């Protein structure tokens, strides 16, 4: 089984025999959800992502022209459905979608695809030692398998906790983020039999 892990905002083709090319992009769409944000009218609580920002996002996604799009900071299902619908209206259909539901109730990882999924799995029970106790990997780990001419491709979608912290002993959440990354790494290695 061919395995691919994408953790950063990149776009890359996965070359397969018989001219089967699979282009995968990952994109932090910056709070595609109602959130506290600064607007032209000042600071607003629980304010939706502005329509002008959504329109700009759709333009970028269209230009990426990826077969599979991994999203970070996606809101709950209604927001993903809205984006999927708006992309289709502009001629960028992604008929297949999956949303990772982790401990963070507002911001999720998601995958949109022009190809059907062979399999998806949500891994939300990952924990790691942090300070004096244990913490959950805040946004979980989404596993997506796609069939290609050269065999299945496994994609691991994740989004580490933000650098914002109220923990003075862990500036920029560096220790927490490292703990999340190590828990995810160990889980993937165990799943793939590479430990």
- For 151-193, how does the pLDDT look when each residue is reduced to its tens digit (9 = 90+)? 999 999 999 877 777 777 778 778 888 999 999 999 999 998 8
> How far is the C-alpha of 68 from the C-alpha of 21, rounded, in Å?
11
> What pLDDT score was predicted for residue 9?
41
Query: 51-64 and 77-89 are packed helices; what angle lies between their axes, rounded to 10 degrees?
Result: 60
The arithmetic mean of pLDDT across residues 37-52, rounded, is 92
DSSP 35-64: EEEEETTEEEEEEPPPHHHHHHHHHHHHHH
CA distance 57 to 132: 41
- Residues 31 and 35: their CA atoms lie apart, in Å, by 7
Q: Which residues contact 185 (CB under 8 A, 6 or more apart)?
A: none
3-class secondary-structure state, position 149: coil
**DSSP assignment letter at 189:** H
Please give the Cα distance from 121 to 100 (Å, whole number): 9
| CA pair distance 180, 127, nearest whole angstrom | 8
Q: Tell me 171's DSSP state.
A: G
**The token pair that represents 165 in the structure block:** 């912290």
Of 73-82, 89-98, 133-142, the least confident: 133-142
* pTM, full prediction: 0.85
């Amino acid at each position: 089984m061919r395995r691919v892990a994408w953790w950063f905002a990149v776009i890359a083709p996965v070359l397969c025999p018989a001219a089967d090319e699979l282009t995968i992009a990952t994109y932090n769409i910056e709070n595609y959800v109602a959130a506290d944000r600064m607007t032209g009218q000042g600071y607003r609580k629980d304010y939706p992502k502005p329509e002008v920002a959504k329109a700009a996002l759709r333009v970028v996604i269209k230009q990426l022209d990826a077969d599979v799009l991994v999203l970070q900071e996606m809101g709950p299902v209604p927001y993903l459905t809205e984006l999927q619908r708006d992309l289709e209206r502009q001629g960028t259909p992604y008929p297949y979608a999956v949303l990772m539901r982790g401990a963070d109730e507002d911001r999720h990882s998601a995958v949109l695809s022009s190809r059907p999924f062979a399999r998806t799995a949500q891994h939300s029970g990952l924990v790691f030692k942090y300070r004096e106790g244990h913490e959950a990997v805040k946004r979980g780990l989404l596993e997506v398998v796609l069939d290609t001419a050269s065999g299945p491709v496994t994609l691991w979608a994740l989004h580490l906790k933000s650098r914002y912290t109220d923990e003075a002993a862990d500036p920029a959440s560096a220790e927490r983020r490292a703990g999340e990354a190590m828990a995810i790494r160990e889980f993937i290695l165990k799943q793939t039999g590479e430990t």
